[in-house]
Structure 1
Amino acid sequence: MKRSSVHIMHLLSSLAYLTSTRIFAEATTSTDCKCQPSQSCWPDSHAWSRLNITTNGALLKTIPPGIVCYPGPAYDKIACEQFNELSSNEGWISSNPYYVMNPGWNGNPCPPTNGTEATPDSTCGPLLGEPVYVINATSANQIEAGVKFAKQYNIRLVIKNTGHEFLGRSSGAHSLSIWTHNMRETTFTDNFKPHNCPKAIAHSAVTVGAGMQWKDLVTAAHGHGKLVVSGGNPTVGCIGGYLQGGGHSPIGNKYGMAVDQVLEFNLVTPAGKYITANECENSDYFWALRGGGGSTFGVVTSATLRTYPTEEINMVVQMFNMTSNDTDVMWDFLGYVHSELPRITNAGMMGYSFIYNDESQKVGWAAAFITVGGSIENATKILQPLYDETATSKYKDHIIYSQDNYTFPNYLSYFLVFFPEATTTTNAVLPSRLLDEQALTVDPAYFSATLKKMWSPFVGAYLGHIIGGPGVAQYKDVDMALNPAWRRTVDHFIAASGWDTPVQREPVLNYAHNILEYNLRKLAPETGQYLNEALYGSDNWQANNWGTNYPRLFAFKNKVDPDGVLYCFNCVGSEQWVEGENGSLCRASWA
């Protein structure tokens, strides 16, 4: 059964609107633990007051937004109804200093109650996963003060911009949070040269504050006649974990990844010092921040990114649906389709794909491919072999296809249509793999058999990010912390699933770990995964996130942050710490 192209476009746009879940590990008995509010080491009210003064009144005491739905003096029926509507809205989440995008991974201590008052025995408070205080940072000086305070009192420190984080790294129990969302200064220039770097070549560029989001930066760049290599979600922060983790982009196969565009960072180090990092100054930080992951080596206050002249975007939305009940034929066809992806990306196309069950519960495949510049006619010519294949005797009685074409005069118009602001509805689980040409082409029959074997009610969809190719590979000789496997990646592939209620969590996670992740790694054992969209608790995450770069990253982390001022789950150096069920964070016994 054929779906409308508009519906498919909305399905495809969901690629950027996923969340994840969190599982707490057992803590060790080590005495080297981050301080908690119940302990004597916790700063008294006078210390917090001094921090508030130092930060010019920017210190906020955490008030769980959901408290308005729980019995007690804060209960407010109207506010509770509003919270129920807003709690899944990514725009609201990003502008709230406390809330994160689906807090199921942190124990969800104060969840929405469907707009009604919670039962009398329900409780709500800043429990697991939520900070105790938040600094609403608008300057580097405030961040310096926060970092030094956390270091002095041995308090867990977390960084939040938008809270759009798939692995629970924007919040943390018993912590001080630095909220960078309101640092939104933006400066465009045609001749940017990195600080103290006479050998550097001047570039057209934009310097972006830590709180800027893609929906705003893409719009601002358009006003200057420019294009920025953005993410595919309007509410994602431009230079936080997205950028520092690599940042795949819908236009990556022309310009490279977002991290490839960085000319300079400004940041506060774990020692509380404000520095500039580029290829000439603090180049070790510059290396680590380009792919080493956010909330690890410092708190980035701004970054400068290359810009390009805006160009026309041509998009082809294609759909392949079953007309028979023989699903084996469709899975076989999908093996063929994926074997064609290297050829398609080498021809300059890029986009997103979606394997799903249609209204008749038959497997279907949809893809939205774009070219930057180019033409619809040329795009159709590149894709024609896929259509011709459906006419062969093997597939002609089983599969039909359709194609819809769209031309956007500039990147902004494409971005606004294809990436609308979304809501979050579940806690997503994201086993993923970087698929290179070898994984896609050597044995299409094995590839299709693997997809079929993994497919089950535990899988919501297979999401393909076909954004690698020559544009990403062109930076293969640039020395940075990004997983080198990205340079030969064609398709960042996710077998997405999720859970809505706590009772669903363990079965979904077990299937994701034992079936989905296991089989994805068999498809491409020598590549890795995208560290920002990966399974929580992934096996051998160090090598899979960073490949051969991990030992160097680990050594640098221990050099610049020996006290573990900055910690986040499955981030560089995090294996030296263990999280407990009570929210404790302690040195691992071997560390």
Structure 2
Amino acid sequence: MQLLTSLTYLSSMRIFADATSSSNSDCKCQPSQRCWPDSHAWSRLNKTTDGAILKTVPPGIVCYPGPAYDKEACEKVSEESIYHTWITQSPFNVMQPGWNGNPCPPTNGTEANGTCNSLLGSPVYVINATNPSQVEAGVKFAKKYNIRLIVKNTGHEFLGRSSGAHSLSIWTHNMKNAEFTESFKPKKCSKAKPHSAVTIGAGMQWKELVLLAHPHGKLVVTGGNPTVGCIGGFMQGGGHSPIGGKYGMAVDQVLELNLVTPSGKYITANECENSEYFWALRGGGGGTFGVVTSATIKTYPTQPITVIGQTFNLTSNNIDIWWDWMAYVHSEIPRIADAGLMGYSFTFPDGTGKVNWAAALIMVNGTIEEAGDVLKPLYTKLNNSKYKDHIIYDHQGYTFPDYMTYFVSFFQPEVVGSTAVLPSRLLDARALTEDPTFFAATLKKMWSPFVGAYLGHIVGGPGVAQYKNVDMALNPAWRRTYNHFIAASGWDTPDLKDVVVNHARDVLEYNLRKLAPETGQYLNEALYGSEGWQAANWGANYPRLFSFKNEIDPDGVLYCFNCVGSEKWVEGANGSLCRASWA
């Protein structure tokens, strides 16, 4: 860890800062200011946390001129750092480094032209937390010294919320415990009905939990990526699932939570104890109301999973007829979902000027024949209409014997690409069926070189709607949603950032909102800096969330971008974080 060397280095950086900045308690403290803890304070924190403090050293520093340069190490980190599996195991790195300035990127084994002497948006120190007491110590330290505090598990986060300039990070990735039970009841809650469940640590990832659940004959309501953390920002933001159409969202499975509050207190939250925390943490978003250290979630008997791979391909140059067909296909989604099919669709260019649609739709405990029957009306329509001379289709089916076999076969670790820009919308039955002509025109209008793909998440429907009367912070629009739709784009170099984000806001998000003006968006997969994000993310629940945030965290100990209460803070170009003038 080289902690003492790092502390000495930091102490040397503590130059006299601007008098206003150094004395302004309305801003989070920075390393260059007098308010920053001295080496003795950091050493005490390291001792309190049993040596868990890590000084951030960008892995890519081995690629840059200087004492850390190592050609062989550079080649290795350049090769490994593109994989999510590597990122999740790093205390410092995140999946979308474009949002934190991408300090010291690896350079494929060639010595970089430039220097690596700034952390930009990365944390200064990290607590490698393995137990709640270390989390408590970190929260109390950040509160005492007015330091920006962030939380990271896997770094699988699309809006940069797992990083922050001049911050202390709590890394929960190594909290991996899991305990299964056939009959769990929340503490001090006699009215709760028992349910088979598993209690998991904050660092558990979906593939790990799926493998652990299988010998117990259980499935869990997972995300669609093996490296995603189970109960961090994913679950706290809602957590859509490939089997959500039957079982609901990840947040619907939560029976109890253990967390450290912004004041540094370790508590248990369920429907009877600390119930307002329980309400807020189920859909209110991660990194906002506390640092969750463990959660108990429902388990279910494992089931066979049938997958239908279904494609449509445009063979002519008639792009209008393609979008007309896509509008019809989307109008069928409510019927398809109500019949028990769920999953993911992708609309993408094929490189020749044509457009393709591919979908992986699943049925829980159904046969290939039963799943195929649900899709037959689409093929009948195609074969007996104007579309048949322009569009071809294919249909393949396969049944996995259980959920584990399906999950590990179907979901593979991803490779890091460009920084994603994800304007999205929750599409209900009205948006999908009311006006196919308008729907087709909207899809055509948005399609451009700025768009990499349309991503359709058919993850709502009956399974999610069944929880509509449960009181939680999740955007109520989810309960009538059938398709979480994203017009995905991205940027590779900083000079393209503003162009891509502006187009996503002014064209993509604008038109998506016209499709469904009264629903909202999924807060974990949304446009960076989305306009009106409060109502879009939480609907009518936002005022209650905002009030609760002010009550439990008036000093803004926990802050993240476009999170509840974040409008009270302003991030500066130099990484400063200060209270808004009105707050």
TM over 0.5: yes
Q: Do structure 1's residue 263 and structure 2's residue 255 form an aligned pair?
A: yes
C-alpha distance in 2 between matches for 1:223 and 1:504 = 48
Equivalent of residue 162 in structure 2, options 158, 166, 170: 170
Matches within 5 A, 1:293-442: 293-442=285-434
**CA drift at 1:115:** 1.7
C-alpha distance in 2 between matches for 1:133 and 1:200 = 41
**Residue of structure 1 equivalent to 2:236:** 244
**Residue of structure 1 equivalent to 2:110:** 116
Which is worse superposed, 318-327 or 151-160?
318-327
1:279-308 C-alpha deviation (Å, 9 max, x unpaired): 000000000000000000000000000000
TM-score by length of 1: 0.94
Which is worse superposed, 544-553 or 398-407?
398-407
Equivalent of residue 489 in structure 1, options 481, 489, 493: 481
1:178-234 C-alpha deviation (Å, 9 max, x unpaired): 000000000000011101111111110000100000010011111211000000000
**CA drift at 1:365:** 1.0
Q: Do structure 1's residue 527 and structure 2's residue 519 form an aligned pair?
A: yes
Say if 1:156 and 1:174, in contact at 8 Å, map to a contact too.
yes
C-alpha distance in 2 between matches for 1:526 and 1:374 = 34
Task: Say which structure, 1 or 2, has more relative contact order (CA 8 Å, 6+ apart).
Answer: 1
Counterpart code for 2:31: P
1:501-540 C-alpha deviation (Å, 9 max, x unpaired): 1222222111111100000000000000000000000000
Q: Do structure 1's residue 86 and structure 2's residue 80 form an aligned pair?
A: yes
C-alpha distance in 2 between matches for 1:250 and 1:212 = 19
1:83-108 C-alpha deviation (Å, 9 max, x unpaired): 11122110110001011113111111
**Residue of structure 2 equivalent to 1:130:** 122
Matches within 5 A, 1:404-553: 404-553=396-545
C-alpha distance in 2 between matches for 1:267 and 1:38 = 32
Q: Do structure 1's residue 43 and structure 2's residue 37 form an aligned pair?
A: yes
Say if 1:297 and 1:566, in contact at 8 Å, map to a contact too.
yes
C-alpha distance in 2 between matches for 1:75 and 1:521 = 49
- SS for the counterpart of 2:377 is helix
**Residue of structure 1 equivalent to 2:58:** 64
Counterpart code for 1:290: R
Counterpart code for 2:94: V
Say if 1:468 and 1:488, in contact at 8 Å, map to a contact too.
yes
Counterpart code for 1:49: S
**CA drift at 1:31:** 5.4
Say if 1:292 and 1:572, in contact at 8 Å, map to a contact too.
yes
Say if 1:554 and 1:572, in contact at 8 Å, map to a contact too.
yes
- SS for the counterpart of 2:388 is coil
C-alpha distance in 2 between matches for 1:329 and 1:580 = 48
Matches within 5 A, 1:138-177: 138-177=130-169
Counterpart code for 1:575: E
**Residue of structure 1 equivalent to 2:94:** 100
Q: Do structure 1's residue 210 and structure 2's residue 202 form an aligned pair?
A: yes
Which is worse superposed, 59-68 or 392-401?
392-401
C-alpha distance in 2 between matches for 1:460 and 1:588 = 36
**Residue of structure 2 equivalent to 1:582:** 574
C-alpha distance in 2 between matches for 1:430 and 1:390 = 31
**Residue of structure 1 equivalent to 2:7:** none
Counterpart code for 1:224: H
RMSD of aligned Cα (Å)? 1.0
Say if 1:64 and 1:125, in contact at 8 Å, map to a contact too.
no
- SS for the counterpart of 1:191 is strand
**CA drift at 1:126:** 4.2
Counterpart code for 1:433: R
**CA drift at 1:483:** 0.1
Counterpart code for 1:588: A
- SS for the counterpart of 1:492 is strand
- SS for the counterpart of 1:343 is helix
C-alpha distance in 2 between matches for 1:409 and 1:306 = 21
**CA drift at 1:425:** 1.5
Say if 1:210 and 1:240, in contact at 8 Å, map to a contact too.
yes
C-alpha distance in 2 between matches for 1:567 and 1:137 = 19
**Residue of structure 2 equivalent to 1:75:** 69
C-alpha distance in 2 between matches for 1:407 and 1:393 = 31
Counterpart code for 2:127: I
Counterpart code for 1:243: M
Q: Do structure 1's residue 187 and structure 2's residue 183 form an aligned pair?
A: no
Say if 2:56 and 2:125, in contact at 8 Å, map to a contact too.
yes
Say if 2:305 and 2:399, in contact at 8 Å, map to a contact too.
yes
**Residue of structure 2 equivalent to 1:23:** none
C-alpha distance in 2 between matches for 1:392 and 1:238 = 45
Which is worse superposed, 28-37 or 438-447?
28-37
C-alpha distance in 2 between matches for 1:417 and 1:506 = 38
- SS for the counterpart of 1:311 is coil
Say if 2:423 and 2:509, in contact at 8 Å, map to a contact too.
yes
Say if 1:64 and 1:126, in contact at 8 Å, map to a contact too.
no
Say if 1:62 and 1:126, in contact at 8 Å, map to a contact too.
no
**Residue of structure 1 equivalent to 2:245:** 253
The number of residue pairs the alignment matches comes to 562
Say if 2:96 and 2:420, in contact at 8 Å, map to a contact too.
no
Structure 1, unmatched stretches of 5+, are: 1-27
C-alpha distance in 2 between matches for 1:408 and 1:195 = 37
TM-score by length of 2: 0.95
Counterpart code for 1:274: Y
Say if 2:218 and 2:300, in contact at 8 Å, map to a contact too.
yes
- SS for the counterpart of 1:396 is helix
C-alpha distance in 2 between matches for 1:517 and 1:115 = 39
